[in-house]
């Protein structure tokens, strides 16, 4: 089932930086079940999307971690989060396990591009996904244009030297003032896949 919680306390997973003190957030979290959601018609996803639609003006945190989502869902969900004006935290950790190599960049771009228009995103976690070089390119537009992001987690994503360079170049082009960036375990000793 999909879990919906409101007025929960959020504790940052990264040593509680000052801007992520314990705070009250309106959270929507898909329970991590290691489930592959291949269809946007899945009853649990429909319920999750409907809850977000009904509360879009209050949502500050969305967590999709621990399940795998199709590119069709990501496209639909990207359009939906564009309508969440208070969204500040997005947890996409471990969301594309078992997805084909060509699906991940499309899904990442579908989820991050709309965040440019939201303009209040403070933290995003893309860790434990097969981002690689192609995914780095897919999120570079977001990284170049976002101005509110303070925490960017992209650990264990197979970026390699080239993917990391693409991300670094995008961050340099932008006007971002990151306080935390975590890129550990990304095969920085080779060119990536």
Sheet containing 151-153: order of strands: 3-10, 23-29, 61-63, 89-91, 123-125, 151-153, 180-182
pLDDT of residue 122: 95
Q: Which token pair is 6?
A: 């409101």
- pLDDT 10s digits, 46-57: 888 898 999 999
pLDDT of residue 19: 38
d(CA 165, CA 21): 31
pLDDT of residue 98: 83
d(CA 109, CA 172): 19
Report, as ranges of residue numbers, the positions in the chain whose pLDDT lies below 50.
Answer: 1-23
d(CA 21, CA 11): 7
pLDDT of residue 13: 40
- pLDDT 10s digits, 106-119: 999 999 999 998 78
């Amino acid at each position: 089932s999909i879990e919906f919680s409101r007025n929960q306390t959020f504790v940052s997973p990264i040593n509680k930086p000052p801007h992520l003190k314990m705070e009250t957030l309106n959270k929507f979290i898909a329970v991590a079940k290691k489930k592959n959601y291949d269809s946007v018609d899945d009853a649990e996803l429909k319920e999750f999307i409907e809850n977000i639609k009904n509360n879009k003006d209050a949502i500050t945190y969305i967590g999709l971690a621990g399940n795998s989502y199709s590119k069709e869902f990501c496209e639909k969900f990207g359009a939906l989060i564009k309508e969440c004006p208070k969204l500040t935290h997005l947890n996409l950790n471990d969301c594309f396990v078992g997805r084909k190599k060509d699906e991940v960049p499309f899904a990442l771009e579908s989820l991050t591009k709309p965040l440019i228009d939201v303009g209040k995103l403070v933290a995003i976690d893309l860790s434990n996904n097969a981002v690689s070089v192609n995914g780095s390119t897919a999120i570079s537009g977001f990284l170049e244009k976002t101005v509110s992001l303070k925490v960017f987690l992209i650990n264990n994503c197979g970026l390699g030297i080239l993917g990391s360079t693409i991300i670094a170049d995008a961050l340099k082009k932008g006007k971002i003032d990151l306080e935390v960036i975590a890129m550990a375990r990304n095969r920085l000793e080779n060119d990536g896949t």
